[in-house]
Structure 1
Amino acid sequence: MIEQIKEGHVKVEREHGIATIEFYHPQRNSLPGAILEALAKDIHSEGLNKDTKVIILKSAGDGIFCSGASFDELASIKNEEEGTRFFTGFANVINAMRKAPQLIIARIQGKSVGGGVGLAAAADYAIAVEGAEVKLSELAVGIGPFVVGPAIERKIGVSAFSQLAIDANLWRPADWARRKGLFAELHTDVAGMDDSIQRLANNLSLSNPEAMQELKKTLWKGTEHWDTLLKERAGISGRLILSEYSKKAIEKFKVKLA
């Protein structure tokens, strides 16, 4: 199943109990609202699918994994309601990943920024390739990693999260992300990464679904309030994105990316 979105897509492929959810956007695999909505919906649907034993989350191409929020969409936000709605899209994806009973493997084939780091953190097991650097650029555009923050902090701890959040212009190398626990594995090339992902997915597809579900409940214990928390955090970002500072910063970033 493929859901075509203006200038992008989200598609789901299923084989032998493994559901692979792929997203794509021509602007460095950024995440406009339509892709966020489709991702949340498809992850939720696979969570309900009794035939799906494990989920792989990936982006298309061999370049950047995800560049985070769409700058075009950020620049078009006109009021706090629109801003909150946009950032709630990230909350919905993270909560869908959290609540899906299946274990989720993330394939990280390149750099991750902002919301992309949040996706990697919300996965239960992230496998990456060398060169998959990470950065939380939110503070540089006048907001902060408020929605994705709980997922990242849960995975790598307050200290490492604060380093990412405060120095918003610094890329951290993939090995830093592995040492901090964001990435479970790091491979020298894409072939090695994909072999490891397939091996793990195959093994999990043959494991006891009930045991995996109970394991996931244990791993995510203490996050039951995130439905409320992440939406509250979306409201903070939705308000801050309207500031004059944010508007000027976004325009500067758009010029750099053009």
Structure 2
Amino acid sequence: MSSISNGDVSSNISSSGVATISFYHPAQNSLPSALLDELTTKVESAGSDPKTRVILLKSEGERTFCAGASFDELLQIKDKESGAKFFSGFARVINACRKSPKIVIARVQGKSVGGGVGLAAGADYCLATEAASIKLSELAIGIGPFVISPAVTRKIGLPAFSQLTIRASDFQTAQWAKDKGLFNEVYADIASLDGAVNELAEKLSSYHPEALSGLKQILWEGTENWDELLTQRAAISGELVLSEFTQQALHGFLSGKR
């Protein structure tokens, strides 16, 4: 386990080859750059480990899967370069999941906002609870979901992405997310979710590794340009976050005025 800015990311692998990667941050599992970097490293390491058969991505706690980016860190960005680097954090995690030769399952036990929705979309298969509502709030704080939009749109389509983005202040239900294709399965509570996640992970770990790797390639066909694309999108967000509008919006959000 690595401790990062009062948060942490941990990984372990079971005897059957299920590599569980878990992240935590006390601010509703929001993700500062250092934690995003560590998460990327863990996904890449698990993917290259011959003992790994399947990767399980999860967060700690019960109420929130991931609240997106660290607002405190956003407010500290002073130039385009550091802004692009910060927003590239989510890009790197999504690309690590995309390029991993192992199937990635996401366990979404609670709400997801912004980049958290992107993490769910970056998985190959996603199981959630009925409490796992989702929101893309970026427009409300003066930026946009540019980095995660390819991953989210790939799962739910452009019309649903437009609704999720334009209704920036509204949560959509877990059932909505399932109907649109972000979630594959939705369960009544965390206990039921964990039972289903463990059963699926163990079943997948028993399948032919080369068959799973071949399936992974098929699932992500047409995304070969994402290393460059998501980096370009991060630069857009990195520039917008420097604007007076966005800085005021972020301060207003943090002070509870929005």
TM tier, smaller: over 0.9
Q: 1:256 aligns to what SS in structure 2?
A: coil
Match status 1:193 vs 2:161: no
Counterpart in 1 of 2:203? 203
Q: Who is 2:10 aligned against?
A: 11
Q: Is 2:248 the partner of 1:238?
A: no
* In 2: Cα distance, 1:107 partner to 1:252 partner: 32
Q: How far apart are the structure 2 equivalents of 1:251 and 1:219?
A: 40
Deviations 1:130-153 (A, max 9, x none): 111000011111110000000000
SS at match of 2:224: coil
Q: Which amino acid aligns with 1:116?
A: G
Shift of 1:243: 0.6
Q: Report deviation, 1:112.
A: 0.2
Percent of pairs with identical residues: 54
Q: Name 2:111's counterpart in structure 1.
A: 111
- Equivalences for 1:8-47 in 2 at 5 Å? 8-15=7-14, 16-47=16-47
CA distance in 1, matches of 2:198, 2:242: 43
- 2:157 partner SS: helix
Q: TM-score, normalised by structure 2?
A: 0.98
Q: How far 1:235 sits from its partner (Å)?
A: 0.3
**Aligned-residue CA RMSD in angstroms?**
0.8
Can you list the C-alpha shifts for 1:70-90, whole angstroms capped at 9, x where unaligned?
A: 000001100111100000111
Offset at 1:166?
A: 1.2
Q: TM-score, normalised by structure 1?
A: 0.98
Which residue of 1 is the match for residue 167 of structure 2?
167
Q: CA deviation at 1:202?
A: 0.3
- Given residue 36 of structure 1, which amino acid in structure 2 is its aligned partner? L
User: Number of residue pairs matched?
Assistant: 256
CA distance in 1, matches of 2:6, 2:252: 22
SS at match of 1:76: coil
1:144 aligns to what? 144
Distance 1:47 1:105 in 2: 13
State the Cα distance separating 1:256 from its structure 2 match: 2.3
Q: Map of 1:77-92 to 2, 5 A cutoff?
A: 77-92=77-92
- Equivalent residue for 1:251? 251
Deviations 1:106-159 (A, max 9, x none): 010000000000000110111000111000011111110000000000001011
Alignment of 1:175-186 (within 5 A): 175-186=175-186
Alignment-mate amino acid for residue 179 of structure 1 = D
Q: Decide which moves more: 158-167 or 145-154.
A: 158-167
Question: Following TM superposition, by how much is the alpha carbon of 1:6 offset from its aligned partner in structure 2, in angstroms?
Answer: 1.5
Q: What is aligned with 2:93? A: 93
AA in 2 matched with 1:10: V
Whichever residue aligns with residue 19 of structure 1, its letter is: A
Structure 2 spans left out of the alignment, 5+ residues:
none
Matches within 5 A, 1:47-66: 47-66=47-66
